[in-house]
Amino acid sequence: MKTTTLGPSGIECSAIGLGTWAMGGWMWGGQDSAAATDAIAASLDAGVTLIDTAPAYGLGASESIVGAALKGRRHEAVVATKCGLVWHTQKGTHFFDEDGHPVYRYLGRESIFHEAEESLKRLQTDYIDLYITHWQDSTTPVEETMDALLTLKQQGKIRAIGVSNASPETLAEYLQYGPVDAAQERYSLIDREIEQTLVPLCTRHNVAMLGYSSLALGLLAGPIDPAREFTGDDQRASNPRFGTANRARLKAFFDELEPVRRQLGCSFGQLMIAWTLASGNVSVALCGARVRVQAIENATAGALDLPEEAVQRIDEAAARHLQALA
């Protein structure tokens, strides 16, 4: 497993991170706690140390699953969780409703302290390795938010500070008030906007870049059966990227890369994850998994070295087939 360091914190973690949004069930068509717990154990066994979660993933469900799964193994994991999407108050800006609860973007000082305590309880730990502002709050000054995070760090309740879904301007403002160890944003073969925006800023300031949705919600995991249906509250049911025409484009893309996949002896998903790391734009590729087999497959990609020729062939195939997906 390749490893990396989370910015100035010096915290070392795996270059593959386990994303646990789907484990919370919300927007993924339900959950299976036993299977999720098994997937976390399998990830640790396979060398994944960074476990990424958030209170909003199932209104605490994902954090609770992570906490239970890490019982007796907490020392093996670098736990990242988040703050700023709240349902205990109606301060800030309404963002969405989850399971009948209105959820707000809010990063006020006292709210962050409240969220941290709740996360520590659900995670069954006395410290959080990386604490990330989940979405940014236009109603609270960044200085106030950063002051709260620095206070938690001084108290030993968090070890490192991160920001997610932030513009370069907002990240630069955070950096005015203290060290930021990591930034988290969507990044995959078909979502590359940060290469021109956040990545240069992170490089200049030694901020680790964590890319989430490395497989684009599963779109890049391999060809999708034309007959497969996404049901219930699964967000992919209404996502045009998963439409019939795009499934045909994806099939043509993967057909072209079949010789590369076969030569390297890996799955298409592993090929895409390895490309993400080989791009040099992210320190960590966050990959979601809900069952053991997915977790092991994703983790194995952390040891896959892509030859320069393979990277080039992937880029060329994407240019031919996937431009319409963006």
HSE-CB of 202 using CA atoms within 13 angstroms: 27
CB-based burial of residue 54 (10 Å sphere; 0-12 exposed, 13-18 middle, 19+ buried)? buried
Dihedral of alpha carbons 290, 293, 297, 303, sign: positive
Active site residue 131: no
Count of CB atoms within 10 A of residue 312's CB?
A: 11
Helix (H) or strand (E) holding 69: helix 61-69
57, 104, 187, 212: the active-site residue: 57
Residue 205 φ/ψ, nearest 5 degrees: -110, 15
Helices (H) and strands (E) in the chain, counts: 10, 13
Strand partners, 51: 18, 79
82 vs 87: CA distance, rounded Å: 14
Strand partners, 104: 86, 94
HSE-CB of 262 using CA atoms within 13 angstroms: 6
**Catalytically annotated residues:** 57
